[in-house]
């Protein structure tokens, strides 16, 4: 869709939304679930809604439009959405003109769209991950026609640059550099709901980046399911290290982060660029998923435990102070106790700053959903408990070792009077005694105390 066509629909939808609004201005209550990629989509959705004249409210009772931008990575996330949509029924009864809309990864699955259509007739707009840019048109159709609109077409492989953006915060910004995924890890639904990998062209990224900097954002995360393959399909080789280098060249203090980096494609060139860069945060999020080679093979991750540990060593050799974080799955189908112990060993060996931990969730349509799984839920949650305990002790030890050091931090918000929530380049929170005026600035904090996950400090 061209920008002109989008703008035409924005004007048309704005006119009808204004007439149908309960108050002086139409109000939207939007909520995003899931990963940063979804958060970034949510910011574009809010940008289009703002352009259509919508104001925003957290109170669904007040809203003319309630929109959930959903996640499909685990069943739990989907159950929450179904629960929340069910609870909207009474709002719809009280205010029949309220439009209830669902979008995102969950609805891109056929069986979910079907269930919504059959069991939730008061949901009037459902649109998938490939048509977000068509929201003005789709909303206009709902506003003017009164019929339910379901638009779930597949990706046409293009990247849409025409959407306005309304960013959530004013310190941290998300910048997508690519969409989709081609990796087909056997447990994961993302390639099915997000389509094939496609990269944004460098100039669009650079323009958005310059805009982000000029708005004063200080902590910028480049997003993609596997940023290490940025432009590989389009140009034959990954251009991610080059992109990072280019985005490092601007004046002023800011941090550059990226996620996610897939170990199979993480190159020494990237680590070299990070090590020599002025702005790359000393933080690498490198999901390992499992510490066992057989499980990694069944997961179709295409690296081994040894290759992963080599990468960690290569990163630490160049950046001894680098903070490492990761994702791990417990209870992949058939994972034995010995295989789980290999995961614990890897965690001990690396010493992560923090972990995102997931109990395996069966996703329909993925190869892992066909695998037999004799391990009980109880066993899986016991394993998870053990893993969390281990990681907590590692994190506490790492935090204690930082007491007495000086850390460069970025103050993100005031927690309570005189205490600011700040973040280190390594992505650790420091609750710092400092005046409110420092929110949004970098400064050196002296670390005075350590908790399990959080540090305390003074300016």
- Give the binding site for ligand SF4 (CB under 6 A): 181, 183-185, 188, 190-191, 225-226, 262
Which residue, among 339, 344, 323, has the nearest Cα to 391 in the 3D structure?
344
Token pair of 57 as six digits: 């409210």
Minimum CB distance to ligand SAH smaller for 188 or for 212: 188
Closer Cβ to ligand SF4, 48 or 185, answer by number: 185
Are 409 and 430 within 8 A, CB to CB?
Answer: yes
Which residues on adjacent β-strands are paired with residue 208?
none
Yes or no: say if 255 and 219 are a contact pair by the CB < 8 Å rule: yes
Nearer to ligand SAH, 162 or 294 (CB): 294
357: which strand partners?
A: 328
For the CA atoms of 196, 201, 207, 212, what is the dihedral angle to 10 degrees? 30
Partner from ligand SF4, ligand SAH, none contacting 40, C-beta within 5 to 8 A by type? none
Q: Contact, 346 vs 303, CB < 8 A?
A: no
**Nearer to ligand SAH among residue 40 and residue 289 (C-beta):** 289
Calculate the CA 373 to chain-centre distance.
Answer: 29
CA nearest to 142, candidates 84, 102, 110, 113: 102
Q: Which one, 137 or 335, has the nearer CB to ligand SAH?
A: 335
- Which of ligand SF4, ligand SAH, none has residue 191 at its interface (CB below 5 to 8 Å by kind)? ligand SF4
Q: How far is the CB of 196 from ligand SAH (least distance, A)?
A: 14
Contact yes or no for 106/71 (Cβ under 8 A): yes
74 or 115: CB nearest ligand SAH: 74
Question: Where does this chain bind ligand SAH (CB under 6 A)?
Answer: 73-74, 187-188, 190, 225-226, 260, 262, 287, 289, 327, 329, 358, 360-361, 363
- Residue 379, binding choice from ligand SAH, ligand SF4, none, Cβ under 5 to 8 Å by partner class: none
- Closest C-alpha among 40, 424, 34 to residue 205: 40
In whole angstroms, the minimum distance from the beta carbon of 226 to ligand SF4 comes to 5
CA distance 449 to 436: 21
CB of 266 to ligand SAH, least distance (A): 11
Q: CB under 5 to 8 A by kind: which of ligand SAH, ligand SF4, none does 179 bind? A: none
- Give the list of residues 6+ apart from residue 444 with CB closer than 8 angstroms, or none: 406, 407, 408, 409, 459
CB of 267 to ligand SF4, least distance (A): 16
> Shortest Cβ distance from residue 329 to ligand SF4 (Å)?
9
User: Token match 């100039």: residue?
Assistant: 203
Name the minimum Å distance from CB 248 to ligand SF4: 25
Identify what 294 binds: ligand SAH, ligand SF4, none; CB under 5 to 8 Å per kind.
Answer: none
Position of tokens 């394993």?
383
Q: Compare residues 292 and 431 and give the one whose CB is closer to ligand SAH.
A: 292
Say if strands 178-179 and 172-176 run parallel, antiparallel, or are unpaired: unpaired
CB of 393 to ligand SAH, least distance (A): 21
The option from ligand SF4, ligand SAH, none interacting with 360 (CB < 5 to 8 A, set by class) reads: ligand SAH
Residue whose CB is less far from ligand SF4, 10 or 368 = 368
How long is the chain? 459
Nearest to 291 by CA among 246, 236, 233, 345: 345
184, interface contact from ligand SAH, ligand SF4, none, CB < 5-8 Å by kind: ligand SF4
Contacts of 53 (CB under 8 A, 6+ apart): 14, 17, 18, 25, 26
At closest approach, how far in Å is the CB of 228 from ligand SAH?
10
> Which among 365, 57, 32 is positioned nearest to 193, based on CA atoms?
365
**Residue 358 contact partner, candidates ligand SAH, ligand SF4, none, CB within 5 to 8 A by sort of partner:** ligand SAH
CB of 290 to ligand SF4, least distance (A): 12
**Residue 74 contact, options ligand SF4, ligand SAH, none, Cβ 5-8 Å cut-off depending on partner type:** ligand SAH
Pick between residue 44 and residue 363 the one whose CB is nearest to ligand SAH.
363
């Amino acid at each position: 869709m061209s920008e002109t066509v989008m703008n035409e629909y924005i004007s048309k939808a704005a006119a009808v939304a204004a007439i149908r609004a309960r108050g002086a201005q139409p109000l939207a209550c939007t909520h995003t679930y899931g990963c940063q990629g979804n958060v970034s989509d949510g910011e574009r959705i809010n940008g289009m809604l703002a352009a259509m004249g919508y104001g925003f409210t957290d109170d669904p009772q007040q809203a003319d439009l309630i929109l959930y931008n959903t996640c499909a990575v685990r069943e739990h996330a989907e159950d929450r959405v179904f629960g929340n949509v069910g609870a909207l029924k009474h709002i719809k009864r009280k205010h029949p003109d309220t439009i209830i809309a669902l979008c995102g990864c969950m609805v891109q699955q056929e069986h979910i769209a079907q269930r919504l259509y059959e069991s939730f007739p008061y949901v009037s707009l459902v649109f998938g991950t490939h048509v977000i840019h068509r929201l003005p048109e789709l909303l206009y159709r709902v506003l003017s026609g009164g019929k339910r609109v379901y638009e779930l077409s597949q990706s046409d492989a293009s990247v849409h640059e025409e959407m306005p953006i309304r960013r959530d915060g004013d310190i941290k910004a998300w910048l997508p550099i690519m969409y989709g995924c081609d990796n087909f890890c056997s447990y994961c639904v993302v390639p099915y709901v997000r389509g094939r990998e496609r990269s944004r062209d460098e100039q669009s990224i650079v323009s958005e980046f310059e805009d982000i900097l000029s708005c004063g954002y200080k902590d910028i995360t480049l997003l993609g399911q596997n940023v290490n393959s940025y432009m590989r399909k389009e140009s034959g080789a990954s251009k991610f290290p080059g992109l990072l280098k280019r985005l490092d060249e601007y004046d002023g203090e800011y941090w550059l982060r990226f996620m996610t980096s897939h170990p199979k494609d993480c190159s020494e060139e990237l680590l070299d660029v990070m090590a020599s860069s002025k702005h790359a945060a000393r933080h690498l999020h490198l999901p390992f998923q499992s510490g066992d080679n057989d499980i990694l093979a069944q997961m179709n991750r295409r690296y081994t435990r040894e290759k992963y540990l080599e990468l960690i060593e290569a990163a630490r050799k160049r950046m001894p102070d680098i903070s490492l974080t990761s994702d791990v799955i417990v209870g992949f189908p058939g994972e034995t106790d010995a295989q789980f112990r290999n995961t614990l060993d890897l965690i001990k060996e690396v010493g992560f700053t923090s972990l995102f931990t997931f109990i395996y969730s069966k996703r329909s349509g993925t190869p892992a959903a066909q695998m037999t799984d004799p391990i009980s839920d109880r066993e899986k949650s016991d394993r998870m408990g053990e893993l969390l305990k281990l990681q907590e002790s590692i994190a506490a030890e790492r935090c204690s070792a930082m007491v007495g050091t000086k850390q460069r931090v970025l103050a993100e918000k005031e927690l309570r009077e005189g205490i600011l929530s700040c973040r280190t380049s390594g992505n650790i929170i420091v609750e710092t005694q400092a005046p409110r005026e420092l929110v949004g600035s970098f400064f050196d904090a002296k670390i005075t105390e350590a908790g399990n996950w959080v540090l305390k400090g003074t300016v």
